[in-house]
Amino acid sequence: MSLAPISLFAPSANTLFPMTAATPQSALSPLPTLSRDQLARRAAQELRDGYIVNLGIGIPTLVANFIPAGMDVWLQSENGLLGIGPFPKDQDVDADLINAGKQTITARKGASFFSSSDSFAMIRGGHIDMCILGAMQVSAAGDIANWMIPGKMVKGMGGAMDLVAGVKRVVVVMEHNAKGNGMKFVKECTLPLTGTRCVHMLITDLAVFEFDGNRQRFVLTEVAPGVTVEDVRQRTEAHFEVAATVRTIGV
């Protein structure tokens, strides 16, 4: 069996983030999308008391600032910390205390520090209840691509591949479209995969989708304020179902 050669040069933007032929993207008017903080606030609504949660790099790290009052959640970082607190104020920054994305953080009361090998044993052993990750693409089947774009410098794949394989529930938070209105919620991922059929919920700045394991497809359950189901369809390549009742995202 012969294998096709792998190119290390970056494909065109339209290949990475395909456009749709149904509605020219240039004809679509701007929508009132959620801000990064609003996305993080919505993702925080998925947390449950007593959960151990891993937050990915980017928007997911902001979730630490929006844990519901009175809820006891333990945030874990791959570099060896269980018990991440909110981001520090300028006067409280400790340069030696960072998360896996090299951002300065705080540690809550009762936090523990350990080696990265112990950290990944927690992840691979199924001891993490949920991870909240960013993504460059999510497919209709629940695949995720979030670790590299061919031809661009990559710091490393991090722990995402272990997380999507070992964590009980995977929530993805991302902008609905790429620059130029390219598609990120797609029929099939065109970027190198992080994991297959592993995403349980997709939260974008336009809508919320929950994966239905019985139907093996995503179901649209919420839309951002001022956004309609048709607005979401026009900006999505992936096929999805629509819930009987579609709520407005409360942020």
Q: Tell me if 49 sits within 8 A of 79, measured CB to CB.
A: no
Higher pLDDT, 20 or 29: 29
Mean pLDDT to the nearest integer, 63-84: 93
pLDDT band, residue 140 (cuts 50/70/90): very high
Q: Mapping DSSP to helix (H, G, I), strand (E, B) and coil, where does residue 84 land? A: strand
What confidence score (pLDDT) does residue 141 get? 97
Listing from the earlier edge strand, what are the strands of the sheet with 81-84?
A: 107-113, 81-84, 74-77, 52-55, 130-133, 169-174, 201-204, 207-212, 217-223, 241-248
Measured between alpha carbons, how far is 247 from 108 in angstroms, rounded to an integer?
34
210 is annotated as an active-site residue: no
Query: Which residue among 78, 175, 210, 222 is the active-site one?
Result: 78
Does 11 score more than 50 pLDDT? Answer: no
Q: How far is CA 104 from CA 23, 72, 90, 116, in A?
A: 43, 22, 10, 17
Tens of pLDDT, residue by residue over 214-244, are 999 999 999 999 999 999 999 999 999 999 9
Q: How far is CA 122 from CA 107, 144, 223, in A?
A: 19, 22, 35
Report the share of the chain in percent with pLDDT over 70: 88
What confidence score (pLDDT) does residue 25 get? 56
What confidence score (pLDDT) does residue 153 get? 73
Q: Tell me if 221 sits within 8 A of 215, measured CB to CB.
A: no
What confidence score (pLDDT) does residue 82 get? 96
Query: Which domains are seen in the chain, by residue range?
Result: 19-248 (3.40.1080.10)
Residues paired with 76 in a beta bridge: 54, 82
Tens of pLDDT, residue by residue over 163-194, are 999 999 999 999 999 988 899 999 999 999 99
**What is the reported pTM?**
0.87
Report the amino acid identity of residue 32: P
What confidence score (pLDDT) does residue 10 get? 42
What confidence score (pLDDT) does residue 3 get? 38
| Average pLDDT of the chain, as a whole number | 89
What confidence score (pLDDT) does residue 213 get? 93
